[in-house]
């Protein structure tokens, strides 16, 4: 169950939702869904191959790179990965703060809780504490958070599809090949980025 919740949490994070939000306006709904499914499947397959190799060898991904790029090269890969993860965390922190500030503004109006900077600080502190408590204590937090996230995501999907079906529109839109490829790249990049973290 914990492995399921780990993967479910990784695939229902803000980045995944934002990927759909970025792709959606550019493409029609069927193209968007197909691109996300195909990109996530390919990304998951590639990550599965790396995970299989890691399980067989008993080594993490960064150590496996040593056979390809030597030990010194693996340090460069590790540093680049750390920089990329700092950037990724910063983007998710800001996106989460924006979402929280918007929600609070809708609920409470213009208050201090509707300020994005306040939420950057609050969420940053919570993430830091979460990191400091260590992985052994994450299990309960993860179970609660991911279960709640799945419930909210199901409600959002129901509300969105109910709204979309109540206002039928043409399923075709003027999408160029570049839009389709761009959407595919976004879906694949999200799957690969999230999978590496898990």
The more confidently predicted of residues 31 and 23 is: 31
The more confidently predicted of residues 172 and 75 is: 75
CA distance 48 to 54: 10
- Where helices occur in 58-115 by DSSP H, the ranges are 61-64, 66-108
What's this model's pTM, rounded to 2 decimal places? 0.55
Phi and psi angles of residue 127, each rounded to the nearest 5 degrees, phi first: -65, -40
Task: Give yes or no for residue 178 having a pLDDT over 80.
Answer: no
Burial of 21 from C-beta contacts in 10 A (0-12 / 13-18 / 19+):
exposed
pLDDT tens by residue, 106-153:
888 899 999 999 999 999 998 888 888 877 777 787 788 778 878 887
Give residue 181's pLDDT. Answer: 54
């Amino acid at each position: 169950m914990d492995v399921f919740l780990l993967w479910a949490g990784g695939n229902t994070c803000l980045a995944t939702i934002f990927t759909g939000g970025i792709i959606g306006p550019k493409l029609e709904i069927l193209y968007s869904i197909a691109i996300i499914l195909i990109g996530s499947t390919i990304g998951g397959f590639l990550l599965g191959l790396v995970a299989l190799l890691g399980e067989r060898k008993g080594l993490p991904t960064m150590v496996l790179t040593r056979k390809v790029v030597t030990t010194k090269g693996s340090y460069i890969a590790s540093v680049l990965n750390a920089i990329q993860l700092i950037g990724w965390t910063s983007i998710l922190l800001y996106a989460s703060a924006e979402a929280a500030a918007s929600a609070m503004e809708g609920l409470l109006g213009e208050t201090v809780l509707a300020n994005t900077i306040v939420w950057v600080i609050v969420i940053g502190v919570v993430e830091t504490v979460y990191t400091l408590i260590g992985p052994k204590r994450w299990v309960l937090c993860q179970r609660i958070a991911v279960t709640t996230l799945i419930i909210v995501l199901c409600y959002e999907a129901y509300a969105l599809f109910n709204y979309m079906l109540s206002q039928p529109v043409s399923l075709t839109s003027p999408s160029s090949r570049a839009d389709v490829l761009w959407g595919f790249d976004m879906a694949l990049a999200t799957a690969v980025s999230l999978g590496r973290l898990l």
